[in-house]
């Protein structure tokens, strides 16, 4: 199969690379010429475990190419995947489809022969039909089908998720398009991966329903953690107790500072907006959004409380800035709410993140970025762990304590044991566990 991927970000780059790993002939296109130049020079613009090696291998064998010429890429393709960004629109929170429709118009004029045009970007229900309309209007003679094929990969585990997905959702009822999509994903039949065919609309909505459900699960356990703190229960025991029930499942029951990232916040907002527009408001999703926004702010208050009610003039060490480990993605990370609130309360902050600091520097002001975990600690009044990178899990706690002015740790990811921390002489606060 000849595949063109339009948009070479987290999803486009991973999808294109994995399709080439399947043995397809892939070209990844982006309007960002600098990004494409970097990729052609072997420089990978994002941090994603395993990606660099897979790109190098497939680029070397000629299965994977990068370019800016959308027209020729589309002209030679059996399938064109649209994987451009769909950020939140200012004002109402609906997905901004400017990039999707701009790409669609360009694709339209380049179509030759039968082509499947696939929306891999997360797009509101109805977008596929609009893509179809634009293609038809721009190029009335084109022979194509529009398919929705949402992506479920997680940053940090993107390759594994793409190569071994739980399922692949393919939104089209057209036989010809189903055959092309089946051929593209055939390598996954080895693992008996279900290929679920649905209508365009069902597929588009499935992506949002999945993300909203997971965001709700996280929010549920976060609120349960708050209750655990009040009544002296341990949220991990509660989570394990309910998670062993197969109707509930153990995943996404880890409490923390609130969900962030490039998907859950914007997708819950967009889904809620769609539900309001359609006259069937998803009140549960609206509640999840507002609980989560407030929660990120509450985390700063937690730190202030652990510092005795004020951080004015105090030095705070922060470990972890990205919204989760194993990614450099800072989009809507809880750190973007917590750090400014602490700075506003008078704290000075020294922070470190293994991969996120380049992005963080663009988004956070008045922060002293450090070269290592330990470099944040000298003279600190408190240490706050925001992201559970592996390298923060086994800090030399005697060294940590000796470097700090006061041994206060606020662990927003529960990576240390409260009893052990007390024994080691720390004032230790975590989420949903007895101190």
**Residues 4, 5, 6, 319: which binds ligand NAD (CB under 6 A)?**
6
**Residues 10, 47, 352, 428: which binds ligand NAD (CB under 6 A)?**
10
Annotated active-site residue in 228, 263, 307, 370: 263
Map tokens 């339209």 to a residue: 108
Show the tokens assigned to 415.
């990576």
Which residues within the stretch 64-103 sit at the binding site for ligand NAD (CB under 6 A)?
83-86, 99, 102-103
Q: Which is nearer to ligand NAD, 32 or 305 (CB)?
A: 32
Tell me if 121 contacts ligand NAD by CB under 6 A.
Answer: yes
Which residues within the stretch 259-288 sit at the binding site for ligand NAD (CB under 6 A)?
262-263
Query: In 345-435, where does DSSP find H-type helix?
Result: 357-363, 397-403, 418-423
Secondary element (H or E) of residue 29? strand 25-29
Position of minimal CB gap to ligand NAD = 9
Minimum Å distance from CB 23 to ligand NAD? 23
Question: Annotated catalytic, 370?
Answer: no
Q: Which is nearer to ligand NAD, 6 or 307 (CB)?
A: 6
Which residues within the stretch 26-65 sit at the binding site for ligand NAD (CB under 6 A)?
29-32, 35
DSSP letter (8 states) at residue 88: B
- HEC assignment per residue over 142-199: CCEEEEECCCCCCCCCHHHHHHCCCCEEEECCCHHHHHHHHHHHHHHHHHCCCEEEEC
* Beta strand 348-352 pairing with 315-319: parallel
Tell me if 8 contacts ligand NAD by CB under 6 A.
Answer: yes
Which residues within the stretch 124-163 sit at the binding site for ligand NAD (CB under 6 A)?
151, 153, 155
Query: In 69-145, where does DSSP find H-type helix?
Result: 70-75, 98-110, 127-138
CA distances from 104 to 16, 75, 88, 353, 390 (A): 18, 14, 19, 37, 41
Q: Which is nearer to ligand NAD, 217 or 236 (CB)?
A: 217
Q: Which is nearer to ligand NAD, 7 or 354 (CB)?
A: 7
**Residues 3, 5, 11, 110: which binds ligand NAD (CB under 6 A)?**
11
Tell me if 7 contacts ligand NAD by CB under 6 A.
Answer: yes
Minimum Å distance from CB 271 to ligand NAD? 12
List contacts with ligand NAD (CB under 6 A).
Answer: 6-12, 29-32, 35, 83-86, 99, 102-103, 121-122, 151, 153, 155, 262-263
């Amino acid at each position: 199969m000849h595949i063109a991927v339009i948009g070479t970000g987290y999803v486009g780059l991973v999808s294109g690379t994995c399709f080439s790993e399947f043995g397809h002939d892939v070209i990844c296109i982006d309007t960002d010429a600098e990004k494409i130049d970097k990729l052609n020079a072997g420089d990978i613009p994002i941090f994603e475990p395993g990606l660099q090696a897979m790109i190098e291998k497939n680029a070397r064998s000629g299965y994977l190419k990068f370019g800016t010429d959308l027209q020729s890429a589309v002209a030679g393709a059996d399938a064109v995947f649209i994987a451009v960004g769909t950020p939140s629109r200012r004002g109402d929170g609906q997905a901004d489809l400017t990039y999707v429709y701009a790409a669609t118009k360009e694709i339209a004029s380049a179509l030759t022969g039968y082509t499947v045009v696939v929306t891999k970007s997360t797009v509101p229900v109805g977008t596929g039909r609009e893509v179809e309309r634009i293609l038809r209007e721009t190029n009335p003679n084109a022979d194509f089908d529009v398919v929705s094929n949402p992506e479920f990969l997680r940053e940090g585990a993107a390759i594994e998720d793409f190569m071994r997905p739980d399922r692949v959702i393919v939104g089209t009822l057209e036989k010809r398009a189903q055959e092309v999509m089946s051929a593209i994903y055939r390598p996954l039949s080895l693992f008996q991966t279900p290929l679920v065919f649905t209508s365009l609309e069902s597929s588009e909505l499935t992506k949002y329903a999945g993300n909203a459900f997971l965001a709700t699960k996280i929010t549920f356990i976060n609120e349960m953690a708050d209750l655990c703190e009040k009544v002296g229960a341990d949220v991990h025991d509660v989570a394990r107790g309910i998670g062993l029930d197969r109707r509930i499942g153990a995943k996404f029951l880890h409490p923390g500072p609130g969900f962030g990232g490039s998907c859950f916040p914007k997708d819950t907002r967009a889904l809620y907006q769609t539900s309001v527009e359609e006259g069937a408001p998803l009140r549960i999703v609206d509640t999840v959004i507002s609980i989560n926004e407030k929660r990120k702010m509450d985390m700063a208050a937690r730190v202030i409380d652990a510092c005795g009610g004020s951080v004015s003039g105090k030095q705070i060490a922060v470990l972890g800035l990205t919204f989760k480990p194993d990614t450099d993605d800072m989009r809507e990370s809880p750190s973007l709410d917590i750090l400014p609130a602490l700075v506003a309360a008078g704290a000075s902050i020294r922070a470190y993140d293994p991969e996120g600091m380049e992005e963080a520097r663009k988004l956070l002001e008045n922060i002293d970025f450090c070269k290592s975990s330990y470099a944040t600690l000298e003279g600190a009044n408190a240490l706050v762990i925001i992201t559970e990178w592996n390298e923060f899990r086994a800090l030399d706690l005697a060294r940590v304590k000796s470097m700090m002015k006061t041994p206060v740790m606020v662990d927003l990811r529960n990576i240390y044991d409260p009893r052990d921390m007390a024994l080691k002489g720390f004032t230790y606060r975590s989420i949903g566990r007895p101190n």
